[in-house]
Amino acid sequence: MANKNTIIKIEHLSKSFGDKKVLDDINLEVRRGEFVTLLGPSGCGKTTLLRTIAGFAQADEGVISMEGHDISAVPPHKRPLNTVFQRYALFPHLNVYDNIAFGLKLKKVPSEEIDSRVRKALKMVSMTDYEDRDVNSLSGGQQQRVAIARAIVNRPKVLLLDEPLAALDLKMRKDMQMELKQMHSTLGITFIYVTHDQEEALTLSDTVVVMSEGKIQQIGTPIDIYNEPVNSFVADFIGESNILNGKMIRDCEVEFAGHVFECVDKGFGEQSPVDVVIRPEDIYVITNTENAKFTGVVKSCIFKGVHYEMFVETDKGFELMIQDYNAFEVGSTVGMLIKPSDIHVMQKERTCNSFEGVMTDSTHVQMLGGEFECQETGLQAGDKVTVRVAFDKVELLDYKEDGTLMGEVHFILYKGNHYHLTVLTDDGDNIYVDTNDIWDNCDLVGINIAPKHLRITKRV
């Protein structure tokens, strides 16, 4: 169980701020010398997780152990790890040298050794001869280098980096990424890196941990994460992708966008609903429509530098994003092909909304913090029920006052011919909605469900 190679092990870590769960049962193992990236949109809990590892935040539940010892109760100054802060957090009253020597002086390292180690660290970050400079006279990139030097000079077992490059411009960020990767392999220190930039995560890491809403969605190598996303969130967040509703006809045969395709996925069962992910670069466009699997009309074509990005509406009314080195004229009909191995099939996380509720009388049900009318059920007040509502039967209204419930659009997924929205209600429940209307993230909406669309079963 206790792998010698494991340096940090996190088990069942949970933390809440008030009602909001920011970390929800996090389990993670970090190997010695690994470059691990915590990746997710803002508010997904990645920074909180890092702060918990550093000791600045306390978890409500769970254990963090380092080399087999529980460090949950160890204060930050005793943890053998160092942090590079997002906004550098350099001490403004100290010069570059004293900033870097800060940790070593505290440990009472002899001054000759401090001297040589500080110089070495400065060399490592290409900042030789900057010792006496005032940290505020440095540029953002230079400050970042000093911050990194200040952390690595202590030779920590684990280096934590909290979006260290977020404040730098693109060119500088790319350079620093390469340098960080170089530094990682030279130093052999374990890096735990937080970022919201998926490209950065894929470029730098040995292992990517994708997080959303306080939960780990997927842990894997960059290639795994990109090619085999486990759910539509990961597929959508990492890179560009077409995510469509599909149906597994049988093993190695999947239907989506109105056609049946050969694929390589097995074990989903026959006729089971699935999500299908196709990366935009995996759809081949040909002018010869006869040899194509299916056809479509080019709706737009934009030059993106290396490739062209096109939106094509297929013969069955699905919109696909396609990246190709060749441009195709807008309005022209093209043929398309997809290789079986490029079709990625995912288990559907859900096929319909399911809520728990209580009957208030035989035609009304209390759920999600509101009372809904339903068709005559023959049930009595107080009966506990499960209510199912199909995704496309939930009605969203422009004015939040008009609905039985209020909610906020939380996550939008385009499924080729409709949007799949996650709407967060005031009570913190998620309602999933399929709609053709265009909503924006964070829109406040009213939510209604017609009585006939509530499918109610009694819970026992």
Partner 1 sequence: MKKILDIFGKRSNWAIPYALFMAVFVALPLLLILFYAFTGNEGEFSFANFTKFVTQPEAVNTFIYSIGIALITTILCILLGYPAAYILSNRNLNRSEVTVVLFILPMWINILIRTLATVALFDFMRWPLGVGALIFGMVYNFLPFMIYPIYNTMQKMDHSLIEAAEDLGATPFRVFWKVILPLSMPGVMSGVMMVFMPTISTFAIAELLTMNNVKLFGTTIQENINNGMWNYGAALSLIMLVIIGITSLFSDEEGGDSDSLI
Contacting residues toward partner 1, per CB under 8 A: 54-56, 75-78, 82-83, 85-87, 89-93, 102-103, 106-107, 136, 150-151, 154
At its nearest, how many Å lie between partner 1 and the CB of residue 159?
11
> Min. distance of Cβ 7 from partner 1 in angstroms?
18
* Rounded least distance, CB 58 to partner 1, Å: 12
- Cα gap 145→236, rounded to integer Å: 33
- Do 165 and 87 meet the contact criterion of CB atoms below 8 Å apart? no
Cβ nearer to partner 1, comparing 136 with 288: 136
> CB-wise, 103 or 214, nearer to partner 1?
103
- As measured in angstroms, the least distance from the Cβ of 136 to partner 1 is 6
Min CB(57)–partner 1 separation in Å: 10
Tell me how far apart the alpha carbons of residues 66 and 317 are, in angstroms, rounded to a whole number: 54
The residues facing 336 across adjacent strands are 285, 294
Residue with smaller CB distance to partner 1, 131 or 206: 131
- Quote the crossing angle between the two packed helices 140-152 and 111-124, to the nearest 10°: 130
What is the identity of the amino acid at 250? R
Exposure on the CB side of residue 35, measured as CA atoms within 13 A: 20
Question: Between 117 and 420, whose beta carbon lies closer to partner 1?
Answer: 117
Nearest to 404 by CA among 378, 374, 375, 434: 374
CB of 148 to partner 1, least distance (A): 13
Nearest to 392 by CA among 358, 365, 367, 415: 415
Q: Residue 102 or residue 439: which is nearer to partner 1 going by CB?
A: 102
Render the burial of 49-69: b for 16+ CB within 10 Å, e for the rest.
bbbbbbbebebeebebbbeee
135 or 310: CB nearest partner 1: 135
Distance separating alpha carbons of residues 121 and 109, to the nearest angstrom? 15
Query: CA torsion 217→222→37→23, rounded to 10°?
Result: 0
Nearer to partner 1 among residue 115 and residue 309 (C-beta): 115
Least separation in angstroms between residue 85's CB and partner 1 is: 5
